[in-house]
Amino acid sequence: MSYSIRLLTVALLIFLGFNSGAQTTADMAFESMDHDFGKIREDAGPANFNFNFKNTGKVPLVISTVSASCGCTTPEWSKEPVLPGKSGFIKVSYNPLNRPGSFYKTITIVANVPNGSQVLKITGEVMPKTLTVAEQYPIDLGKIRMLNNNLSFVRIKNNETKKDSLKFINVSGSKLKIGFKGVLAHLSVKAVPETIEPNGTGYLVISFDGSKITELGFQMSRIYLTFNGEENYNYGVNVTATVEEDFSKLSKKELQNAPSIDFNERVYDFGEIMEGKKVEYTFKILNKGKSDLQLRSIKASCGCTAANPASNVIKPGASTDLKVVFDSRGKLGLQNKTITIISNDPNSSTTILRISGNVNKS
């Protein structure tokens, strides 16, 4: 007799029991309905526990489903009907990998029992695995490894200096002195300590001086590293920031009389075009303020996009055209290009316009 036929037979017996007035439910008596795994290691593999139960009812017990509160917990259970007086199990497997810390999970059983379900609980604490050097410092720069080799100062005023650091470890097996190449005028960098012992850790301390930037907007620089005087231009760190004008010292009256930038629209969708075609669109820039609006900088996100304003100074109440040309040569698929505009509007000094669409192969 197949499993499905046995289930059908059990269901029929339960149905007949309902109609005859007899006891129509099974019941699950567990040895325990909760289990504490205690402390388990993250890298020790799944932890397992069997919740054993006995059917204390008068009819066969049929488990419909067993579901856990998260994907980290996997249940197995007695698939055959459990006859009255017989025993069954719910096996619970908890995977601790990448889940350090305490946990509390539930397992819900749906069966022909009073109230239709039972809930089991598991708890415990996952002890973090010991990370290798490569896991702690995933960026490989030859003689050192770093957690990250990109330092972003996000936004910085054109009259302020910010300082931050990047941590590294010496994996060369010998003492190491780190030097620097390609440091631009607005940056300063030093290694602390200056000489690093084998397996020792240190910091690259980097300062960004916004007053030494001649052009506002997004800035990206790369600092190349030397090790004991040896140069290798494959190893370096990137430093980025968006430099903005400082309007904090403007008086209330000056703010009231300031320029105010606006646009007829900020997004243009050119739809579908064939590769190689150029798309042209003109945004209109408006000055709704009370003094001259000055366009300090206009930068496109890639060389394939050109943006040229008819004028860089816009009188109050006036407007100017910003012609944008996107060249689709060598571009295929979904395209999303941006034009970043830096102005002297103290309330909206940085504005991003977008042109997007899909380029099909010709």
pLDDT (0 to 100) of residue 215: 85
Find the CATH number of the domain harbouring 106: 2.60.40.10
Banded pLDDT at 19 (limits 50, 70, 90): very low
Decide if pLDDT at 21 tops 60. Answer: no
How many C-beta atoms surround the C-beta of residue 340 within 10 A?
18
Beta bridge partners of 125: 39, 102
Banded pLDDT at 23 (limits 50, 70, 90): low
Banded pLDDT at 17 (limits 50, 70, 90): very low
Determine the Cα–Cα distance for residues 321 and 310; give it in Å rounded to an integer.
Answer: 5
Say if residues 327 and 241 touch (Cβ distance below 8 Å): no
Decide if pLDDT at 1 tops 70. Answer: no
| Burial group, residue 234, by CB count within 10 angstroms (0-12, 13-18, 19+) | exposed
Q: Give yes or no: residues 104 and 27 share one domain.
A: yes
Q: Which of 168, 184, 187 is nearest to 227 (CA)?
A: 168
Determine the Cα–Cα distance for residues 57 and 74; give it in Å rounded to an integer.
Answer: 27
Q: Give yes or no: residues 49 and 66 share one domain.
A: yes
Identify the DSSP state of 133: H
Domain count, the chain: 3
Question: What tokens were used for 189?
Answer: 């960098």
Distances in whole angstroms, Cα of residue 73 to Cα of each of 43, 70, 120, 147: 16, 6, 12, 31
Across 18-40, average pLDDT: 80
Where among 215, 244, 273 does a domain terminate? Answer: 244
Q: Give yes or no: residues 26 and 121 share one domain.
A: yes
Q: In what order do the strands lie in the sheet with 217-227?
A: 150-157, 230-244, 217-227, 176-181, 195-196
User: By residue range, what is the domain housing residue 314?
Assistant: 252-360
Q: Give yes or no: residues 305 and 343 share one domain.
A: yes
> Of 10-24, 233-247, 340-354, where does mean pLDDT reach its minimum?
10-24
Say if residues 66 and 120 touch (Cβ distance below 8 Å): no
pLDDT (0 to 100) of residue 20: 42
Q: Give yes or no: residues 317 and 219 share one domain.
A: no
Question: What tokens were used for 89?
Answer: 């199990």
Q: Give yes or no: residues 108 and 144 share one domain.
A: no
- Which ranges in 260-338 belong to alpha helices (H)? none
Q: Give yes or no: residues 53 and 76 share one domain.
A: yes
Determine the Cα–Cα distance for residues 76 and 89; give it in Å rounded to an integer.
Answer: 8
pLDDT (0 to 100) of residue 283: 97
Q: Give yes or no: residues 206 and 158 share one domain.
A: yes
Where among 97, 127, 157 does a domain terminate? Answer: 127
Decide if pLDDT at 136 tops 50. Answer: yes
Q: Which residue has the higher pLDDT, 22 or 216?
A: 216
Q: Give yes or no: residues 267 and 329 share one domain.
A: yes
pLDDT (0 to 100) of residue 25: 82
Model pTM? 0.64
Stretch (H or E) spanning 255: helix 252-256
How many C-beta atoms surround the C-beta of residue 134 within 10 A?
11
Q: What angle do CA 205, 208, 213 make, to 5 degrees?
A: 155
Where among 244, 273, 304 does a domain terminate? Answer: 244
Decide if pLDDT at 203 tops 90. Answer: yes
Q: Give yes or no: residues 27 and 62 share one domain.
A: yes
Q: Give yes or no: residues 240 and 279 share one domain.
A: no
Determine the Cα–Cα distance for residues 202 and 175; give it in Å rounded to an integer.
Answer: 12
Q: Give yes or no: residues 204 and 188 share one domain.
A: yes
pLDDT in tens, 313-354: 999 999 999 999 999 999 999 999 999 999 999 999 999 999
Across 71-86, average pLDDT: 93
Residue type, 227: F
Across 151-169, average pLDDT: 95
First to last CA, the chain: 63
pLDDT in tens, 86-130: 999 999 999 999 999 999 999 999 999 999 999 999 999 999 998
Q: In what order do the strands lie in the sheet with 47-55?
A: 28-30, 47-55, 87-94, 73-77
